[in-house]
Amino acid sequence: MGEAPAFLFDDLQNGYENELDLVCSGKETTIVVGKTKYVIGGYDDSALSLGVKVFDNSIGKWVYPKVLGTKPTVSSDHWALPLCEDRILVIKNGSTAGDSIWFLEVDTPIVRQQSKVLGSKVVAWSKGVKGYAGKPIIISGPSGVGKGTLIAKLMKEFPSMFGFSVSHTTRAPRVKETDGVHYHFTNHSVMEQEIKDGKFLEFASVHGNLYGTSIEAVEVVADAGKRCILDIDVQGARSVRASSLDAIFIFICPPSFEELEKRLRSRGSETEEQIQKRLRNAKGELDQARLPGLFDHILVNDDLETCYKSLKNLLGLHDFADNTYESVPKKFGLPLVHSVSKVGSEIYINSGAADLQNAKNSFVLDVSSRKGGAPGRTRGLDLYPICPFGGFADRIEDLS
């Protein structure tokens, strides 16, 4: 990492006045990005999340923009500073582990796109997380093909490596299905509104009901240090392929159409009308799956164990033991922040807390390798402490 700078926070405050002028703190902060003024703070709604308002130069008034992404809850106070022309870094003071670092995007591609669609001002929140996540795995296939069984085997053999993304649906729960485990069961109007709010990675109308994968459902799995598995239909896979999500796409198909019908009937959970509808949908899905550019791999589930072995080989797991997988490190929460300063892509954070030698507790937040962003997480952050006399201590293991 190289030599640590010889200066400490007092030197920063004396030598980088132009940078420091951009930083402000309080329960309500005012930040100028480009020619636009933003105020962050106060209560946004009944959920007590941080509010945002923007000064619209064209009408000379403050307006409340449409806010995308998961909103941070209010704190005693916070620090805010612009990182560049498209986003603002917000550090919540005295927050709990995993809730310290946030980004308010004000002119990123998703903000510009949604602003054009909605015809109004838009901003988007994204929580900052240390490190990167493994590629999500998209597994698709017609009803009755056995993809659920394959995923269950993968989860059982590698419980600490993979996490199953829980989808949303407007259909009624079946016998023994649990809300939040098998699906997030919701009603049609609520899910439609959340789709309009940009909270879903993909969604589709299947068999007369809405199904979808929320962005938060995928991010929660990655936050736990696991690779996310998404069990979605072909229509949903096409939507994900068109999104910014970098994933592996796998399609599971039956050995024959006759075998698929046999498996559907053996379940005994659907009427004849429902079976015929699923078979019609299956024909379309099988045709689409073979189109170039949609799926990376196609596996035939003729024999379950053989297909499962092929799936593990695709994921590089043929010689892998789950007990060798490194668990996710503990989350880290910043202590009470006393001052913040910015030099290049590094944010210097000084806490009023003292260590055993009564020295200042100082940290560096490096955002130079950040990836992702709203409406999901901003990953790739690095946070590490500075020793009192100019040396860097070991980097903090996790910020998520």
Question: CA torsion, points 188, 192, 194, 195, in degrees to nearest 10?
Answer: 130
Burial (0-12, 13-18, 19+ Cβ within 10 Å), 95? buried
Strands 101-105, 168-169: parallel, antiparallel or unpaired by DSSP? Answer: unpaired
* Count of positions (residues) in the chain: 400
The catalytically annotated residue of 87, 227, 278, 379 is 278
The rounded radius of gyration (Å) of the Cα atoms in the chain is: 24
Beta-carbon contacts of 7 under 8 Å, excluding residues fewer than 6 positions away, are 15, 390
How far apart (Å, rounded) are the C-alpha atoms in residues 4 and 11? 14
- What do you get for the CA distance between the two ends of the chain, in Å? 22
Q: Is 267 a catalytic residue?
A: yes
Q: Is 395 a catalytic residue?
A: no
Q: What is the DSSP string of 183-245?
A: BEE--HHHHHHHHHTT-EEEEEEETTEEEEEEHHHHHHHHHTT-EEEEE--HHHHHHHHHSS-
- Of residues 228, 226, 210, the one with CA closest to residue 325: 226
The catalytically annotated residue of 265, 267, 280, 290 is 267
Question: Hey, which residues are catalytic here?
Answer: 174, 267, 278
